[in-house]
Structure 1
Amino acid sequence: MSEQPTIEASDLDVYYGTSQILFGVGLSVQKGDTMALLGRNGAGKSTTMKAIMGLAPPRRGSVSMRGRVISGLKPHHIARAGLGFVPEDRQVFPEHTVEDNLLIGRKKGPDGEDEWSLKRIYEVFPLLEPLRYRIAGRLSGGEQQMLAMARTLMGNPALLLLDEPSEGLAPIIVQRIAELLQQLRSIGVTILIAEQNMHFCLGLANRATVIDKGQIVYSASIEELKRNDEVRQRYLAL
């Protein structure tokens, strides 16, 4: 019997007021996968992430985590169930130090996992250690992105949700974020990345789902996406 997906979203309809944003969206991420949710600006990527996290509750459909329905729960209960969300605007605590931000995020995972200590965070994110006593509001955008990812990992999530992690960052920092994500994948962290930047994801994801106008239009391995010029030109070319 195959293992339950870490996360499975089925038939999600999401509205903002009277405007429908998602139309029957479904996707699943297996343990150890890095899934890229790709699409142009406004395609519905962020809304999908917020729907999974309970921040934009769906009117129809469901979200299950390892077979347990979590849609309908409050976002903090969904976080306790094992989802770690890094939003597009990062949302670090600007008046606290880097280390305080990390300690604020510390908790055991849904099954008592306690794999992420400060020591391990500084090993995986070596650029943060010399900044440990710096006020987070004084960090660069790239440093804040790394801090937001590290703080979320301190909660020992079963799945890491990243919304547009490369947005607004200099190319050299984007490359560093990609290297960090490759490292996380290599140690078994399960990741769902919402990204407009397809090229950022091609070297680090193993699965891809494409969303357009609030609907899933393609789902395959990243290698299949690389070979599918029609899908890339139709839905992902800028």
Structure 2
Amino acid sequence: MSTPMLEVRGADVYYGASQILFNLDLTVEKGQTMALLGRNGAGKSTTFKAIAGLVPPRRGEVRLSGETVSGRAPYRIARAGIGYVPEDRQVFPEHSVEDNLIVAMKRGRRGEAYWTLTRIYEVFPILAGMRTRHAGRLSGGEQQMLTIARALMGNPDVLLLDEPSEGLAPIIVQAIGGLIRTLRGMGVTILLAEQNMHFCLDIATHATVVDKGQVVYRAPVAELRGNTAITQRYLAV
């Protein structure tokens, strides 16, 4: 059996005295697009922050290709192969699109240099025509594409996308979905946190549902699509 690309084992995560995640287990295999689904406040963003080292687990661990990375500083976890796209995008507004990309440029942890400016502009042609524009002048959807592209410039093993459809117009959500499907087809391993179940059902291969900081369901997307008991109980708005 191959080693999972990403594992979260028995993670307990707190904000101060308040516990947010309870013994959470999560596994993402190489090449999967895993949707982490749940209502607002279920613990999705906290799971991402725990993986990225921003809120380290008090108990449990995070492993990348079998190597424990929890307990390291966030920048060391990024260097180990985690690419993190937060829900609030966080571009460098006064710098150009290309500068935003260049600042994140690095080889992967085994020396990979698959993601270059040339390849980014091939996969994100909309950014190629905006390379000199200040990132702060982009639309929300354009900024979302830029932050995904910027994360890829670090040649990560796993890409974390936190609420990529949040606050975007439907036509832009379709474009983001198409982009994620393209990345999946290229073999990128993706963990995607979303409230929008229908968005995820169209692009993910597998799903994990969280509620009140605990995993309550995991299955291939095809099984979730037919499980109305789970979708009504944990995902219906």
Q: What TM-score, normalized to structure 2?
A: 0.99
CA distance in 2, matches of 1:57, 1:117: 31
Q: Specify the code of the residue in structure 2 equivalent to 1:67.
A: G
1:220 aligns with 2:227: no
Superposed displacement of residue 18, structure 1: 0.6
What is the match of residue 36 of structure 2? 37
What is the match of residue 231 of structure 1? 230
Superposed displacement of residue 117, structure 1: 1.0
Superposed displacement of residue 115, structure 1: 0.2
Q: Specify the code of the residue in structure 1 equivalent to 2:140.
A: G
Superposed displacement of residue 119, structure 1: 1.0
Give the count of matched residue pairs. 237
CA distance in 2, matches of 1:111, 1:198: 35
Q: Specify the code of the residue in structure 2 equivalent to 1:46.
A: S
SS in 1 for 2:172: helix
For the aligned residue pairs, the C-alpha RMSD in angstroms reads 0.5
Q: Specify the code of the residue in structure 1 equivalent to 2:231.
A: R
CA distance in 2, matches of 1:211, 1:200: 17
Q: Specify the code of the residue in structure 1 equivalent to 2:205.
A: N
What is the match of residue 27 of structure 1? 26
1:149 aligns with 2:161: no
What is the match of residue 68 of structure 2? 69
What is the match of residue 100 of structure 1? 99
- 1:40-51 to 2 correspondence within 5 Å? 40-51=39-50
What is the match of residue 133 of structure 2? 134
1:117 aligns with 2:116: yes
CA distance in 1, matches of 2:3, 2:89: 30
- Structure 1 unaligned segments of length 5 or more: list them: none
Superposed displacement of residue 161, structure 1: 0.3
What is the match of residue 78 of structure 2? 79
- 1:149-168 to 2 correspondence within 5 Å? 149-168=148-167
Q: Specify the code of the residue in structure 1 equivalent to 2:195.
A: Q
CA distance in 2, matches of 1:137, 1:76: 24
Q: What TM-score, normalized to structure 1?
A: 0.99
- Structure 2 unaligned segments of length 5 or more: list them: none
CA distance in 2, matches of 1:32, 1:141: 28
CA distance in 2, matches of 1:58, 1:182: 31
**Which stretches of structure 1, 4 residues or longer, exceed 2 Å deviation after superposition?**
none
